[in-house]
Structure 1
Amino acid sequence: MNNSFKKAIVTGLTLAMVMGGSTSVFADSKGKDNKNDREWKKAFQNNGNNGKNNNKNNNSSDKDIYVNNLNVKNLIIRLSFDDVKGGDVEWAARYIASLASKRVFEGYEDGTFQPRKTISRIDAIAAAVRLMGLRDEAESAEAKHTNLNFKDADKVKDWAKGYVAVALKNDLFSESDDKVQPDKEADRLWATTLLVKALKKQDEAKAKMSTKLTFKDADKIPAGSVGYVAVAIEQNLIDGYEDNTFRPNQPVTRAEMAKLLDRTGVSLPNDTDFNGTLNASVSNNTLTLTEDGQTYSIELASDVYIIRNGYRVNASELRAGDKVRVSVANNQAIYIEATGSGTNNNQLPQNSTFTATVNSVVNNNNWISLTKDGRTYNVEIASNAYFERGGVSVSASALRVGDQASVTTSNGKVSRVIVTNATTDNQLPQNGIFTASINSAVNNNVLSVTKDNRTYNVELASNPSIERNGVNVAASELRAGDQVRITMVGGKAKVLIVTNGVQSTYSINGTYNSIDTYSNGDIYRISINRTLDDGTVQNNVYVDTVSNVAFLYATSTGTIQGDRSQLRVGGQVELRINSNDDKVNTVVIK
């Protein structure tokens, strides 16, 4: 039975369930389909069934036989991770979701992705092999038992031996490599070379060895690697930094590797996703698209991850004419990326100059949001881009939301921005991201904030996403003085993330029972009795434990008011607690 029919059966099994966040469970299909074989997509062909999935194309007797003989293994496919938070890594969320939806690059069993962790060579090799569609082969018994003629073959873990064998077979190693070095950190130059080889562009790299790279640290790139870097830049796999350095020896984080892999995947053949054009907006939780002249209807998973113009959006933001890539599990779309639009000039002009409005300030991931002809676009900034504001050369960070500018694009990136009409910052962007300080608590669904020394009233969207200390909270948890990052959609605050919360406290009074201390005398547990409004006496213990930290007091971060020697059983005490993190900061002995 061919792989394409296998996928049709596996994705048709009713094994999906929601695990919270953006997770789905589906059966392990073990590899990509045969190229140019679209049989598995018949399950989604729109044959007049009111846009619902049609699964009647499978041969039921073959299906029964196949399922009875299939060793089904449930897998959790998590597309979003709670630890992908913070301006230094949030830019990678879209790449991580895209790769996780195809099981190319995934998180850990504890539900984290650890985006800031550097990636090892063996993990990078495994991801590259999966990206090439060779997971099935790499995990086969034959590959796992291949004799590896590397000096450190004994250091390659059992699960990875097949991946090393397949990587070797597909020229991902150099002829002179005598070690795998599985646990060594992958640096930028090594990772770049690996992915150029995954694209099978070694010959192009060899032809470009005489390229003169313009990076300030180009002399740190070995002569035999210059061609690989040149091809990687040409293929838009990797860029330099704002200071025009390449930093070849800098270790690659998992977030950075996600971006590299996703960019590489764009240039690789992929028959396991839908790549087509939306026929209409999403209706009845179903999208319809046309691919190669065939129309398909695909139901959306409840936790579908959708990217449009670089942002995660709701299904309502998808429009007829959008070019989309759709990843499917259990007959449902779990990841959708609008890669462009074929209608109404929705794409920014390439290699040209045009007028646009700066829609959000340049952030750490070197992208800029622009509005042109009423539409918003997120565009990557070239490493050597030029910016001018007020008639002088400035850095990208000097641009302001609302600036009118003449923008030049080159090879899909912004290469020049000349501000022709600088904003006075009198109004907030209708769509975009900015940082502000909260002036007062939410009142009538309106939040007062200060940005660049100006005060604005911001209306909250009907269902805003509000995050404080990494947890989703109600709008009432926003406090005066909080620093927040706000995402505006249609003139309303859609996402608010508290980046630096103010410390406010509340007090608990009671009678002292006991304390436990560390060897240095610091208190880590305190027990008091509280008298409730109904007269009931309740014992409360505030304790720092390895799991489930409830309340913590330590003398290094808190204070004791009063004479500690007077801390006696039955004596009156007051605990003052930070409401941000529920940690005791002061013990008052009365």
Structure 2
Amino acid sequence: MKKIISLILTMGLLFTMGIPSYAAEYKGFTPPGLAKKGGLPPGIAKKFMDLDGFDWAREAIEKLAHKGIISGVAEGQFAPSRHVTKIEALAMIIRAMGWDDAADLSLDLIKKGKKEDKIKDKLQDWTKGYMEVAREKGLIDEIDLAQQNFATPATRQEVAKYIIRALGLEEEAQQRMNEKLRFKDTSAVQIGAVGYVYLIDAKDIMKGYPDGTFRPNQPVRRAEMASLVAILDEQLDDGEDEAQGVQTIKGKLIWVHDEKIFIERNKDIEGYKLGNDIKVYIHGKMKTIKDLKIGEIIEIKIEDKIVQEIWWKTDVVVIEESFQGIITDINIDDQKIVVKNENKEKLFTIEKGTEIKMDGKTKSFHDLAVGMKIELKLENGKVTKVTAATTAETFKGIIIEKITGKENKLTLQAGNQMKTFAVAKNAEIKEKDGDILSFDELKVGKEVQVKVENYMIVKIYTQD
């Protein structure tokens, strides 16, 4: 609740202010969020010389720079009026929400080849961990990845979407896509952003301008994002201070790296700093960090934010587990599948001989398809059984967006909901009178009936 209140107060202030546009472009830019918390020692934090006219953001900027959460673009320069890019905005929101440990872990696993790099060379390496977390937490989706260049400036409607999704309000936003906005420039709001703009305005998080406009396509500047993150960071620090003292936490060991230990609990990955004289007990006997095994359930004792003791009792180790979700990607050559649920996305190897059941019948790996609902049984991290089910539905809707590319996609308005699906390469597309159409001949605004199998459109029939 504190986070939401802070967010409302901050955004209400930030996005009603006009920002001067005088900052020059600087070389040597270090993206916000790349530096670690902890920052520079007292008295060493650099002062920025270009904050005249930004007194409302000065304290926030200097505080975050001192803590190492953001940095300048050059010696003594912050460039407060420079536009913040999409990935920078995402990184700052992720750090404000306390998800940066998960971003660090994702980046480390990608570099070590233990996690698939889905971003490839589209962005700098430092962004990959944040992009993974943004995907896992639902701040961005596959359509965003396909359509957007995250190195370009973030607009007001895009930041609105990131924030609403970060607050867990995606479902409500989808239900508000047909709402009438109160702004004079409503026509400038993207169809797929109406619900986010409506909610962020209705909840007094981001307001319009005195002239009655929202300016959805106006880029957000670094000073605005810095002020937002400062408030959120302060609230998070308050929560951490309340939690200081002695704690015992139980969770699954995910990774030990760079003097930090990462564990998964409550479906989130958390990182903790290891003490210099840490004690490790395995089945009651003194051991070392190297004796621990990834994937095991451990308990850690924390004193003033530092891990002092670790316990692993083999009799409480979870040997068998399961993972349920939707298949989002398949590598036939290596027999690997990517499965995503509402909390995370994981890569699994299906070894030859693994039992595979589909709709109650024995099948092979090649029968699996993207979009299928699936449950995997695992023993010590190895898939031992796969249970899959095909899905199919037919409904009518109006085409509100069409994406042509390596994978064609349609976004349909069905009642008060918007649904986006990939279109199968061999999909049957016909006019109402039976004439065959190509995907390119489909028009936005056209009413269609579609058949969807495993979350992919296989048949399209026009209705008018």
TM-score (norm 1): 0.31
Indicate the structure with greater helix content. 2
Greater C-alpha radius of gyration:
1
TM-score (norm 2): 0.39
**Looking at both structures, which has the greater relative contact order when contacts are Cα pairs under 8 Å and sequence separation is at least 6?**
2
